[in-house]
Structure 1
C-alpha cells in the first residue's frame, strides 16, 4: 500500500511507492470497490454537518429551558396548572428553534454539495470527477492550477508543480513539488500540473480534523451571539439572590402559605428570563440562511451574515467579479513575422495547456487547428510572473503574457497595448524568446510577435451594485492582476469614483502605513500580485476597516483568507471556495447587496428584540428586589409588608403583546440600518433606564393601592390589576419606541397589542380566568396616572440618550433602498 511518508521531507525527491496501481490507468472499478468495502475511503464530515441529533440536543437542553423547567415543576407542585402556562415557552422555544435550524441545515447541505470541489481521479484509464468523500486509498488524482488537495499523498507526476501550503503552515511562498514529494490535504496548487497518489484518506489525512471542526454548522463566535450569552450569564447570577429574597419575603415576612409563596417566587423569576432572546437570535440567523440560499448564496459560516453587514470596505477583483469570466478574441494584431506562424504558435500554446484559463479558452475558440508542434519545455502561468510559455524545439520558444511585463514600456508595441487597454480591452502579448522557457533566466530577450486583443463583458448588474455600496457608504477598491489602464477603463465605465485614476501596484510602497495612505487616496489598482492583495487587506484593516474580499482565482486565496469576510464566486477555483465564508453560486456580484441587507436585518432586528427582552428582565429583577427589600424594611420600621403583586399567569399575559408576538414579527421584519459595533452597551443603555422606570412605577402604583395583609381577595386582585395596568402601559410604550422609525405595519402591530390588552381586561371570561379586576375606579386611576408618568419618563429618556450618543432619532421611516 502507498502509505509511506517521504523521509526526506516535503519537496524532496523520493522513490515513488510501488503498488498494484497502474499510474497511467489509475484504479480499476474492482480495486475501487474493494477499497470501499475495506473502509479505505475519504469519508469525513462535510460542511454544515451538524446532525439532527445535535440540533435537537442544542435546542432542548438549554440554560433557559432548564430554568423554566424547574420553575414549572414548582408551580405544578402547588396544584395551579393555569399558572404553569409559561411552560409552553419550553415547547415553543425548542420546536421553533429545531424546525428553523433543520431547514437551514437542509439548505446549507444542498448548496454545499453544489459548491464542493470535485477532484479529477484516474479510473480505468479515464479522468473522472468525483466527490471528495468518494476518493479511496491509492487513488491517482490529477492536479492543475487552483485545484485543492483533498487527501494526503505522494506526487507521481509533476510539471512545474507549485503548491501553496499557507493554509496549513502559514508560509505564503509556494513550494515546488517534484515526483516523490509529499502533498498534504488543505493545500492547493498555484502553478503547474501533475498527479499524486492518495496515501492517507479520511480521518488519517493531515487536515481532516481541522476541516471537521471548521466545517460545523455553528451559530456562535460573533459579537451578537457572544453579547447575548454574556447577558444571559449575568441574568442567571442575578436570579439567585432575587429568588431567595422573594421566597424569604413571601414565607417569613408576608406570612403566606407555601403554595402562594412559591407562586409569587415563580411569578417574580419567570419574567427575569429572556426566554425568547436566544430563540429569536437563532431564528433570525436560520431564516437568513434560508433566504440567501434561495438566492444561490452559500453561507459557509453563519456569523458571516453578521460580519458582512459590518463591512465598510469591499475589495473586488475585476475579472469574474465586475466582468464576466467568458471572453472572446476581438483582434489579433501581428507585429512581426508571418500571420500563419503566429496563428500556429497560438494554436499550439492553447492546445497544449492542460488547464486553460478564460483567456486561453477564448484564443482556442478562434484558432482551433493543430499545427502538430512537439513541446520540449513548459513554464506554466503564475500570478507572480504574469506569463506562461512553451518551447517547441526548432519551432522556437513562445511566450504568452502581460505586455507591460514582457516589453520595454517605451516600445511601440507596449504603447499600442496600453492604448488598447485604455478602452477596457484585455491585451496579451505573444512573443518569442532567445532561450528555453524553463531556463532560470527566462523569459530573456523577448521579440514581440503579436498583440492578442480580448473583449471582456462587463456584468450588467455591476454598476447597480457599485451604486448600492456608494449609497450605503461602503468603499469599493478594485484590485486586479490585469493592466492598470485596462482595470481603470472598466472601473470608469461602471461609474466607480476614482476609476479614471488607476494605480499600477508595482509603484505602491511596501510600508504598511504608506500603503494605507495610498489606499485612502485611490480606488482602482492594477498589476496587483497575490501577496500584494494580502498586504492591501492588512493595510485597510490596520486603519480600523472591516474588509470583505471577493474573488474567484487562486491568486485571491491569501487575501480571501485574511479578509474579515471572504466571498468567492461559485465558478472560482476549489481553493478559493474552500477558504471563503460566503460562496455566490450564481457568480453574481449583484447578490452581495442582498447578503449585506440580510446581515443588517439580522443584527438590527436582534437589537430591537433584545431591547424588549432585557427591559423586561431589568424591571422584573428591580420589582423583585423592591418587594423583597420593602419586606425587610417593614421588619425594621414596623409597617405592613407587601407580597409579590403578580401571579405567574399575570406575567405570562404581560409578555404576550408587549414582547412575545411583537418580538417574533420584529425579528423577521425588513431592516436596512447599518450595523455598528457595541451591541451590548447600546442595548443596556436603553434597557436599564426603561426597566428602572417600569419597575419603580409598578411598585409605586401597587404600594398606593395595597390594602394590607388583611385585605379581601377582591382587594388583593384589584391591587394586582393596578400594578399590572401600570406595567403594561409603559411596556407597550417601550414597544412603540423600539419599533421606531414607524411604517404602517408597525403602527398596526402596536395598535394590535393595545387592542389585545383591552380585550383581556374587558371581557368577563378573560377577567375571571386571569384574575383581573379593573372595576375599582380609584385604583385604576392610580394605575393610569403612574403609567402616564412612566411613559413620559421613558420617552424623555429615549430622546436624551439620542442626544448624548449622537444617534439620530426618527419617528417615521425614510424610503428604503430598492437594492436592499
Structure 2
C-alpha cells in the first residue's frame, strides 16, 4: 500500500483533484499529454520523404544530370513526368490525410477528470500529470494511470497481444492503450505524452508495418523485382552502347548518341506511374467517402472492404434501429410493486448503461418506500449477459438473459417465452435466489419472478441493403448475443432465412466449426470469444471477412476481421480497432462504400499493367540489341509522346469509371496473359524494323539521283507501332467493353493520331507528320502475334483452335512474303544504286576538289576563305550536275545529325557506308578545322559490279 500512496503528491487532494495553479505549473513543465495531438499515420514530412526519397527517383535524377551535361535538354523531358507524378502522389496523400484528420475530430471522445472538486470534460491532450481521471466501460485509456479503486476489467491486447480480461485492483497500474471492458473507477495520471508506455512501445516497434492491401503487395513485388534487376540491366545497356556497338566513340557526337541511348533505355525501365496510380486512386477513394461521412482510417482499407465476400453483422443497432422499448412485463410469484422497486434499485447500481438498461430505466423508477441495503453487486458482463445484486436479508436478484441466469425454468414460463421469441422480442428475466454472491460468481439456482419483453425493430432499409449484398455475392451472417429465436425473427424480417444456432451448438473442433460457419447464417447467444472464432473460421475457409458492430462485445471480432466497421456513436475502444467509421451511424451508406472500393480496385487492376508495358518492351529491345552491336534506336523524348497519349491519358480517364463489379484477383494473370506478351511483341517488332533499315532502303528517298536516309520516318513508325499496339492491349484489358470504355479508347486514339499533324508537337517530340502507311503492316502483324500468344497463355489448349491456327498461318505467310520482298529490294539496291568514293583523310578544301575514282562524283568547296569556327559550303556534283550543297562546320568533331537533316535532309551515318550499301551523302569531319574525310555515295547504275566490288574492298 505504501507504493500506492507514494504516487499521490502531498499537495493533491484526492477528493477535489488539481486546482488551476497546479494545472498551469504542469503545463509549463511540459507535463501535459501533448503526444495525443499528433495525428495518426504518416506526417506531412514523412509523406513527402516517402514519395521523393526512392531508388527510382535517385536513378532518374542521375540520368537527368547526365543528359543535361551533354546539352540534350529535350531528352531531359522525362524528368517533368517524374516531378508531376511525385507531386500528384504527395498532393493526394496529404489531401487524404487532412480529410482523415478532419473527420477524426468528429469521432474523438473526450475524457472526464476531477478538478477543483468538479467533474470536468476535457480533450485528451489537455490531461496533465496527477490529474484524477475517470475510467469507464468503452474507453481506451489515453495515458498511464494508477487505479484508486477496484472493479475495473481491461483488455491489454494492444500491449501484451493477449485478449484476456485483466481485473485491476486499487493501486494497480493501467497502461495507455488498454481498453476498458467493464467497470468504472477513478484513477490518477502517472505518465503523459512521450513518457507513456504506449508511446515508448511505439518508438521501439521498429518492425511495425501498416496495413497493406493485396494490390499494394502485388505492385511492391513487381517494383522489388525491377529494383533488383535495374542495376545489372543498366550495366548491360552501358556495355552495349559503349563497348559492343560499332560506333566510333572517338568522336564527341558518337559519345553523345551513346549517352542519350543509354539514358533512354534505363529511364524507360522505371515504371514511375505505377505507384502513383495506386496511391492517387486510393486517396481519391478516401476523399469521396468523406463526402458521405465515412471515415476510412487507412488507405488500404478501401481495397480490403471491396474484396469482402462475407459480411458479419451484430444485430442490435446495425440491422435494427437500436431503440429498445419495454413492451410488456410479466410477473410471477411476487407483487408488481416489489419487483419494480427491486429492479429499479438494481439499475441504480449500473453505471455502465447500454441500450437495454436505458430502456429499463424509463420504465422502472426508484420507490423510496422500499429501503434496500446492498451487500454485493456484480455489474453487467458480456460473458454472463447478466448483472446481480445481493440485498441484505433478501437474497440475490439477477437480471439478464432468461436462458443463462437460471438452471431450471418452469414449463408454463417456457411456453410464454417461446411465444414471445417467435414474435421477435428480446426477453430479459428477473430471478431471485436465497443464495449469496461468492467471488463475483452469480448463483444460478434462482426462480424467475418476472419476464421483460423488449422490442427493437428492424431498420426500414435493412432488407434492401442486405439484398444488395446478397446480389453482389456477399454472404451475410448475423452474429448476436441475443437468443437465437429472437435473432432468427429479426433475420426473417430483413430477408435472411435459415436455422439459428446458439453458443451451446458451437463445436470445439476447428474443422467442425469451419463447416458449421459455412452452412449457417444466424447465430445467437454468441459470446465475444465465439464471435472472434467464427470470424477466424471464415477466414480459414478462404473468405475475406468484414465485421460490423458497435459494442464492447464486438471488439474481439472486429479486431480479428479483415475489415472492421463501426458507427460514430460507438465507444472509443471500438473505434480504435476498426477500419471504417460510419460517422452518422447510417448503415445504408455501406453499399456505397463497397461500390467505391470496388470501383477503385477494379480500375487499378485494369490499367496498372499498362505502366509495366514500357519496362517489358524496352527490356526486350535491350536484350536483342546486345547481339546486334547497334545503338538504342529511340530517344527519350520520342517515347514521351507515346507514354503520355497511349498510356497516361486513357489510364487517367479509365481510373474514374464506375465499375462496381465483384473484384477478381487477376492482376498478375492480366500481366502474364496480356502485358508481358504485348511488351515482348513490341520489342521484337521494333528490333526487326531497326535491322531491316540496314538491309533494305525502306526508310529512304531520292533527291535527284541521291538516296537520302529518313531517320525521322523510322522514329515516327516506331512510335506508331508502339502506340497502336498499346491501344490494342488496352482494348484487351478493357473487355468487356462498356460505352464509357469505348469513348475513352476512341478519344485517346484520335488524340494520339492528331498529335502527329501538329507542327509544334512534332518539333518538340522529334517527329514528323504521318505521310506513309509503312507502319500498318508491322502493327497488324504485332496485333496478330499478340492475339496468338495471349490466347495460348490464357488457355494452352487454344493453340489447336481454328482461330489460332488461321492466325498463325496468316502470320507466317505474311512474314514470308515480306521477307521475299525485302530480299529482292536488297538485291536491287546492291546491283543498281550503290557507288562510293573515299575522300582523302587530309586535303585543302579551298584549293582542290575531291573526286571519286571514276571522276563522276565531285565534292567542290564554294567559299573563298576558311576561318576557324566559320561554316563552309560544299557543292556535291555528279557528272557535271549539282545535286546538293552541304554546309560544313570545320571546328566541330562531327556534323550535328539534326542540323544536317534540317538543312539537306541528309543524315550522318557512322562507320563505313560501304557496309550498309545505302546511297546518300556521308561526311565525317575530324577535330582539325581544315581536314575532312568521309564518303560520297551517288547513283552509279552504269558502274559494273566488279568495279564496285573492287572499290569496296
What's the CA shift string for 1:94-124, capped at 9, x where partnerless? 2211211111011111222222233322223
SS class of match (1:142): strand
Distance 1:751 1:776, change over 3 A: closer
Tell me the equivalent position of 1:513.
Answer: 511
After the TM superposition, which residues 709-748 of structure 1 pair with which residues of structure 2 at under 5 Å, given as runs? 715-748=710-743
Tell me the equivalent position of 2:289.
Answer: 292
Selected match of 2:331 from 329, 334, 338: 334
Q: Assess if the C-alpha contact under 8 Å between 1:292 and 1:298 holds in 2.
A: yes
SS class of match (2:397): strand
May I ask how many residue pairs the two structures share in their alignment?
Answer: 781
Tell me the equivalent position of 2:165.
Answer: 174
> Within 2, Cα distance between the matches of 1:283 and 1:805?
39
Q: Assess if the C-alpha contact under 8 Å between 1:16 and 1:156 holds in 2.
A: no
Tell me the equivalent position of 1:236.
Answer: 227
What's the CA shift string for 1:147-186, capped at 9, x where partnerless? 222222211122x322222332233332222211222222
1:29 counterpart = 2:17: no
Tell me the equivalent position of 1:471.
Answer: 471
1:114 counterpart = 2:114: no
Tell me the equivalent position of 2:487.
Answer: 487
Tell me the equivalent position of 1:651.
Answer: 639
Q: TM (normalized to structure 1)?
A: 0.89
Tell me the equivalent position of 2:868.
Answer: none
1:66 counterpart = 2:58: yes
Tell me the equivalent position of 2:30.
Answer: 39
1:196 counterpart = 2:187: yes
Selected match of 1:253 from 246, 255, 267: 246
> Within 2, Cα distance between the matches of 1:368 and 1:664?
64
Distance 1:766 1:113, change over 3 A: closer
Selected match of 1:560 from 558, 561, 564: 558
1:304 counterpart = 2:301: yes
Q: Assess if the C-alpha contact under 8 Å between 1:722 and 1:774 holds in 2.
A: no
SS class of match (1:31): helix
SS class of match (2:93): helix
Tell me the equivalent position of 1:135.
Answer: 127
What's the CA shift string for 1:378-428, capped at 9, x where partnerless? 110101111112234356633210111124255322332232122222111
Distance 1:337 1:649, change over 3 A: same
Tell me the equivalent position of 2:75.
Answer: 83
> Within 1, Cα distance between the matches of 2:441 and 2:580?
41
Task: State the 1:335 CA deviation.
Answer: 2.4
SS class of match (1:298): strand
Selected match of 1:227 from 218, 221, 229: 218
Task: State the 1:516 CA deviation.
Answer: 1.4
Selected match of 1:661 from 649, 654, 657: 649
After the TM superposition, which residues 267-666 of structure 1 pair with which residues of structure 2 at under 5 Å, given as runs? 267-371=264-368, 373-394=372-393, 397-407=396-406, 408-409=408-409, 411-437=411-437, 442-498=442-498, 501-631=499-629, 642-666=630-654
Task: State the 1:250 CA deviation.
Answer: 4.0
Q: Assess if the C-alpha contact under 8 Å between 2:670 and 2:733 holds in 1.
A: no
Q: Assess if the C-alpha contact under 8 Å between 1:239 and 1:621 holds in 2.
A: no
Task: State the 1:75 CA deviation.
Answer: 2.0
Task: State the 1:317 CA deviation.
Answer: 1.1
> Within 2, Cα distance between the matches of 1:739 and 1:682?
11
> Within 2, Cα distance between the matches of 1:463 and 1:359?
24
Tell me: higher relative CO, structure 1 or 2? Use CA pairs within 8 A at least 6 residues apart: 1
SS class of match (2:282): helix
Selected match of 1:695 from 673, 678, 683: 683
Q: Assess if the C-alpha contact under 8 Å between 2:138 and 2:571 holds in 1.
A: yes
Task: State the 1:369 CA deviation.
Answer: 4.7
What's the CA shift string for 1:184-209, capped at 9, x where partnerless? 22222222222221112222222224
> Within 2, Cα distance between the matches of 1:28 and 1:52?
37
Task: State the 1:350 CA deviation.
Answer: 2.9
Q: Which runs of 5+ in 1 are unaligned?
A: 7-13, 632-641, 807-820
Task: State the 1:468 CA deviation.
Answer: 2.0
- Give RMSD over aligned pairs: 2.9
Structure label with greater radius of gyration: 2
Runs of 4 or more above 6 Å deviation: 212-220, 707-713
Q: Which runs of 5+ in 2 are unaligned?
A: 701-706, 799-953
1:792 counterpart = 2:784: yes
Q: Assess if the C-alpha contact under 8 Å between 2:757 and 2:770 holds in 1.
A: no
Q: Assess if the C-alpha contact under 8 Å between 2:675 and 2:729 holds in 1.
A: no
> Within 2, Cα distance between the matches of 1:301 and 1:370?
51
Q: TM (normalized to structure 2)?
A: 0.77
> Within 1, Cα distance between the matches of 2:224 and 2:525?
51
What's the CA shift string for 1:314-337, capped at 9, x where partnerless? 221111222232212212222232
Task: State the 1:87 CA deviation.
Answer: 1.5
Tell me the equivalent position of 1:811.
Answer: none
> Within 2, Cα distance between the matches of 1:218 and 1:591?
30
Tell me the equivalent position of 1:817.
Answer: none
SS class of match (2:324): strand
What's the CA shift string for 1:574-605, capped at 9, x where partnerless? 21111222222222333332333233223222
Task: State the 1:495 CA deviation.
Answer: 0.6
SS class of match (1:380): strand
